[in-house]
Structure 1
Amino acid sequence: MTTGEEELYAPYQTPATATEEIEPYRTVSRSAVISVGVGVLALLGFSFPSLLPLAMLGIVLALTSLTTIRRYPNEYTGKKIALAGLLLSAFTLLVATPWHIYEYMTEVPENHVRISFSDLQPDPEVPELMIPPKAADLSGKQVFIKGYMHPGVSSTGKVMHFILVPDMGTCCFGGQPKMTDMIEIKVTDPTQSIAYSTRRMKLAGTFKLSYPQAKLGLKDVCYSLDASMVKK
């Protein structure tokens, strides 16, 4: 058989591109994408401890995504996205949590008692007493408390006299808070005068009781604090 005949009767060779297997379409894991978004939001946990649970949610979502991708490699993709979400949330949880614990353990000045607005509320067992015995016992003592500036001084620049309230609702929307949800703050150090802010504040000083009276446009203010320390 001649060379020409060999070429004529040789089996037909299909182009390589025609025999290549088409790669199946894979969907990006939805939980991987969500884990990144949650991980970014979790970074706010450095400023707001109440958002730290988002870091745990981000870790769960990322691990769920990685497990799904490993089980169904021909159907799902997005491993790098899930790893990014995992790193964001893990970083926040591992760094912000001990940082907040350290801050909590060291933020109260020496010889001061940590209190909260819940300590100043009426005792359910003695509802006729508007000022609970626990609050009365604090009178004259050095205390440390956190709260928000009432917006009544929002347009007056730096101030040394304002009302402290317990939450953002009362802080941002104004109005007349409950009597036991207000503390009249008198800053004793002029260098610590402070402008209005919606951020949570830390204050330390001498706690006092007074007869309910009108203060800074609000009525029935019965608690006061001579603040020697004011921090945002």
Structure 2
Amino acid sequence: MSTTEVLPTADIAAGGDEFQYRPLATSAIAALVLGLLSLLIFVAGRNSLSGALAFAPLPLLALWMARRTQTLFRDAPGQYTGGRLSAAGAVLAVVSLVAGVGMSAFVYATEVPEGYERITFPNLRPSDVDERAGRVVPAATASLDGEKVFIKGYMRPHEKYDRVNKFLLVRDNQQCCFGDIGDVKYYDQVRVELPERQFADYSTGVFRVHGTLHVDPDSLRRPGGQTVYSLDADGVR
């Protein structure tokens, strides 16, 4: 006599559902990947608020993908997996957007010492209108001659790399590390001189310099003249 037990049809169907394959939602994967990429905000925003804002679309896209995943789960319950991946991507996106951009904004708001005006290298470059008028220095920048300013850039030492007292501050680190100085436009460099007995060591990172700006457009007319902008620094970090 057979001892085989016959299972009810309903039990077989239930057991089949337990092992039913459910695909991983593509939007959940996208949310996680975009959430991880959103962490680049902390790197890009370390020295520049604009750098952080340039990566801000990444966490926004991650949150949008996480929202799409929730909608998919609601419209097709039990048909897809990936809820945890989507949630992780959303958390990374929120942290990057709030903490990353917030940290960068805080640095931007507090990095300029009191009594100094922020300028950037684009402020030093003459516009098309200036060039047509024969001005090598924008009028707004020329008015800052002798004023206290704050500017960020990259160091290009003259001769040595440690205990530097004089150096060129240039617009980007590619110009800082490669090529002849003659290839660097005059509006992409500022000659910096630190106070006596104050020194800085070379690094590839951003330098924040504050001091008194001097503007000398006539230097371009002198043989070998290239230094239109110079800064008697009060401090560098």
* TM interval, short-chain normalised: 0.7 to 0.9
Aligned in 2, Cα 1:137/1:45: closer, same or farther, shift over 3 Å? same
8 Å CA contact retained: 1:213, 1:222? no
**66, 69, 78: which one aligns with 1:62:** 66
Matches within 5 A, 1:1-232: 13-14=6-7, 18-19=12-13, 20-22=15-17, 23-49=19-45, 50=51, 51-127=55-131, 128-150=134-156, 156-175=161-180, 176-188=183-195, 190-197=197-204, 199-210=205-216, 211-212=219-220, 220-231=226-237
Shift of 1:143: 0.2
Q: Is the 8 A contact 1:69 1:78 kept in 2?
A: no
The structure with the larger Rg is 1
How far residue 155 of structure 1 moved from its aligned partner, in angstroms, is 6.6
Deviations 1:119-145 (A, max 9, x none): 111132131221222222111110011
* Alpha-carbon separation, structure 2, partners of 1:35 and 1:160: 49
Q: How many aligned positions are there? A: 219
Distance 1:46 1:67 in 2: 30
Contact 1:164–1:185 (8 Å) recurs in 2: yes
Q: Are residues 36 and 188 of structure 1, via their aligned partners in 2, closer, same or farther at CA, if it must alter by over 3 Å?
A: farther
Greater strand content? 1
> Which letter does structure 1 place at the counterpart of 2:30?
I
Give yes or no for contact 2:155–2:202 (8 Å, CA) kept in 1.
no
Q: Give, in angstroms, the shift of residue 82 of structure 1.
A: 0.6
**Judging changes above 3 Å, is the alpha-carbon distance between structure 1 residues 160 and 87 closer, same or farther for their aligned structure 2 residues?**
same
Q: Does the Cα contact within 8 Å between 1:158 and 1:196 map onto a contact in 2?
A: no
Q: What do you get for the CA RMSD once the two structures are aligned? A: 3.1
Q: Using a 3 Å threshold, how does the CA distance of structure 1 residues 90 and 122 change in structure 2: closer, same or farther? A: same
Runs ≥4 residues deviating over 6 A:
none
Distance 2:77 2:147 in 1: 65
Q: Distance in 2 between matches of 1:61 and 1:110?
A: 43
Cα deviation, residue 48, structure 1? 1.9
CA contact (8 A) 2:147 2:213 kept: yes
1:29 counterpart letter in structure 2 = A
Q: Which residue of 2 aligns with 1:3?
A: none
- Matched to 1:84, the amino acid is A
What secondary structure does 1:77 align onto? coil
Cα distance in 2 between the residues matched to 1:34 and 1:154: 49
Q: In 1, distance between residues paired with 2:190 and 2:81?
A: 55
Letter in 2 for 1:78: G
Alpha-carbon distance in structure 1 between the residues aligned to 2:87 and 2:199: 45
CA deviations over 1:93-114 (Å, ceiling 9, x no partner): 1222233222222211111111
Instruction: Look up the SS of the partner of 2:192 in the other structure.
Output: strand
Contact map agreement 2:161 2:201 (CA 8 A) in 1: no
Q: Judging changes above 3 Å, is the alpha-carbon distance between structure 1 residues 213 and 82 closer, same or farther for their aligned structure 2 residues? A: farther
Identity of aligned pairs, percent? 30
When normalised by structure 1's length, the TM-score is 0.79
User: Which consecutive unaligned segments of at least 5 residues does structure 2 have?
Assistant: 46-50
